[in-house]
Amino acid sequence: MKNKLIILFVLNTSLIFGQSYINYDLSNQFGFVLDNNQIIWDNDKKFDDLLIDRSTTYFDHKFSSFDFDSIPSDSLYVKSKFQYEFGDYGFDKLNIGLKKQSEDSSFEFIAMKKSFFGTYSEFANEDTSPLSLFYKIDYNTIFSKHNFYLSTGYFREEASFIFNNQLDLDTSNNKEFSDFLSITVGDIFIKNDWKYNFEINHVGNFSERKIVEYPINHEIDIERNRFNIYANNSKNFSIEAFLDNVFYKDKMHSKTYSRTTFYLSNENILPFGSLKYGVDYIGHNIIPNIRYNAKFGSTEFLIQRKNKSTRLLFDTYDFDSLNDEETENWDSFILNYYLGTTIDLVSSLRYVEASNIMTNYQIVGEASIPEENGYIFDSDDMLSLKTKISIPFKDSKIDLTHYHNFYDSLISSNRSHIVDINYHFKTSFVNQNLGIDGKISLRYLSENDSGYSFDYFKNMPISNGINYDEIYNIGLDLNVSISDVLLTVRLKNALDRLPFDGDYSINNSQIFNPMNSLLYFGIIWEFDD
């Protein structure tokens, strides 16, 4: 077995561009995130300086920020950005941003909203709120050798779900609503050759979800406070610690629950790699965490143990027994190989083993009562190989990526093969004042007949015996730059628009309706000073 894996690792020469998700709708509002075939869910996230609680689903694709890194830092400077996109099925997305920067302070404001009715008007209509909406303000100032920073953001998501189910259920009341406020306050300073960062995070979150197919019906308040300390002596010591307290209130059943965790680690930079080690205090358990990373020439490997408390589950009458404070353990081994020539090659072998994962083995779509839902704590592992090749030309480039999943698993995509081919091109005219660049992409997903899938609404993997067919998807991204203005054209699932016989709609979920094609246009405008 070991020899077989080595041969596959060395000889595999296929690749794709950015496999990072499997979406359930063409607006990319719903779906799940992948990292080399590993499903990523129920994890804390960072949105710039803000802490995003682990309870949020598919956050990275619901909200998008702006990049202002090109602003000079040594003088007073103001930059603003405007981006607007519109297209089929009520697709409407607006981003605005403003940043004012001086030598010793900066201020930034970003806002975004996204709407999308859906092919079957299953997500919204003219009278509903946007699917996603957020406002964010950042401010930092340098005073007396201290760098004080403040960030606050308000996030809101709201959707209706009218599905073409086979049970003749009334889905008109299906909905998902969430709004939350995240605040970060911090101070960075240097003292006695040590660099310190003291940071406080606060998250206040209310979420409501009702889906009759499961059934799911809950209203939850979350209040979370986290105190973080980072210290680095610029040599080989780096200390990180945080104390985290979360208070949950189930408003439907008038139940409350609180959790406190403590994390401590130290990182040493050694001649033969980087070693990070520490302890996690979760519930009444003390568990070691460790991370070792080393690079030898073109080869790099990572060994890691991560721990976190198991998720809370509110859609069950058996609340107390299922929400005892267990600990999830995630053990990873990653081996990377880099070959940089005229043609770049990157290959990554990932093995992950997870224990104490809460999962659901109830067949989705069957009428049931909450007491009969099959929630269990389970363990599983996965093995995946990612290989990427980049072939450059004079004014273009081809990216080829292949993901191979070796066997079925609760924590993987369970697509034996995922292939992305991306052709990037660019050209310019009129003394560089007119430019065209873009990407033509092809994605292939092999069938999934594993008996595993991921449930967006429960936010967990499930065992349900669902079979997903293989999928072919063609997309187009086109950018036309005219001076400081950028015009965009986006086409998703172009096969559904081409005059071919057959059904080329995409179905990545048992519940969500099939996806046809989506064509939308946009404009991006930047203003300096």
3-class SS string, 154-218:
EEEEEEECCCCCCCCCCCCCCEEEEEEEEEEEEEEEEECCEEEEEEEEEEEEEEEEEECCCCEEE
* 87's tokens: 């297209």
Task: Please report the domains of the chain, with CATH numbers, ordered by start residue.
Answer: 2-528 (2.40.170.20)
Can you read off the two tokens belonging to residue 128? 């509903």
Whether residue 4 has pLDDT greater than 50? no
Find, among 289, 300, 295, the residue nearest to 265 by Cα. Answer: 289
At 18, the pLDDT band (50, 70, 90 cuts) reads very low
- pLDDT exceeds 50 at position 480: yes
Nearest to 474 by CA among 510, 430, 420, 406: 420
Task: Please report which confidence band the pLDDT of residue 5 belongs to, taking 50, 70 and 90 as the band edges.
Answer: very low
- In this predicted structure, the answer to whether residue 335 has a pLDDT above a threshold of 60 is yes
Select the more confidently predicted residue: 227 or 169: 227
265 and 250 Cβ atoms separated by less than 8 Å: no
Range in 108-112, 341-345, 371-375 with the lowest mean pLDDT: 371-375
Q: How many helices (H) and strands (E) does the chain have?
A: 3, 29
* Other beta carbons within 10 Å of 167: 11
Please report where in the chains the tokens 């460790």 appear, as a residue.
290
What CA–CA distance (Å, rounded) separates 473 from 509? 16
Is it the case that residue 230 has pLDDT exceeding 50? yes
Say what the pLDDT of residue 322 is: 53
Return the higher-pLDDT residue of 480 and 370.
480
* Residue 101 predicted with pLDDT over 80: yes
Q: What is the pLDDT of residues 256-289, one digit of tens each?
A: 888 999 999 999 988 889 999 999 999 888 999 9
Rounded mean pLDDT, 362-391: 74
Report whether pLDDT(301) > 60: yes
How big is the chain, counted in residues? 529
pLDDT in tens, 492-507: 999 988 888 888 899 9
Q: What is the pLDDT of residue 296?
A: 93
Between 487 and 484, the more confident residue is 487
Summarize the confidence of residues 383-393 as an average pLDDT.
96
The owner of tokens 């201290």 is 146
Mean pLDDT of the chain, nearest integer: 87
Strand runs (DSSP E) across 483-517, as ranges?
A: 485-492
Distance in angstroms (rounded) separating the CA atoms of residues 133 and 174: 20
CB 405 within 8 A of CB 416: yes
Q: Which helix (H) or strand (E) holds 49?
A: none
pLDDT of residue 74 exceeding 70: no
Tokens of 124: 């919204």
Lowest mean pLDDT among 3-12, 387-396, 441-450, 456-465: 3-12
Phi/psi-derived region of residue 2, left when phi > 0, alpha when psi is between -120 and 50, beta in every other case: alpha
Instruction: Show the beta-strand stretches assigned E in 326-469.
Output: 327-340, 344-360, 375-392, 396-405, 417-429, 434-445, 452-455, 460-463
Q: Does residue 215 have a cis bond before it (omega within 30 degrees)?
A: yes
Q: pLDDT band at 72, cuts 50/70/90?
A: low
What was the pLDDT predicted at 311?
A: 84
pLDDT, average across residues 2-26: 50
List, for residues 400-457, the tens digit of each pLDDT value: 999 999 999 999 999 999 999 999 999 987 666 789 999 999 999 999 988 888 999 9
pTM metric for this prediction: 0.89
Please enumerate in sequence order all residues whose Cβ is within 8 A of that of 20, keeping only pairs 6 or more positions apart, or say none. 33, 34, 35
pLDDT in the model for residue 71? 63
Query: What is the distance of C-alpha 17 from the center of its chain?
Result: 16
Classify residue 7 by its DSSP letter: H
Please compute the mean of the pLDDT values over residues 149-166 and round it to a whole number.
90
Q: How sure is the predictor about 323, in pLDDT bands with cuts at 50, 70 and 90?
A: low
Residue range 309-329: mean pLDDT, rounded:
70
Q: What is the pLDDT of residue 3?
A: 37
| Amino acid of residue 64 | S
pLDDT digit string (tens) for 205-224? 999 999 988 888 889 999 99
How would residue 67 be classed by pLDDT, with cut points 50, 70 and 90?
confident
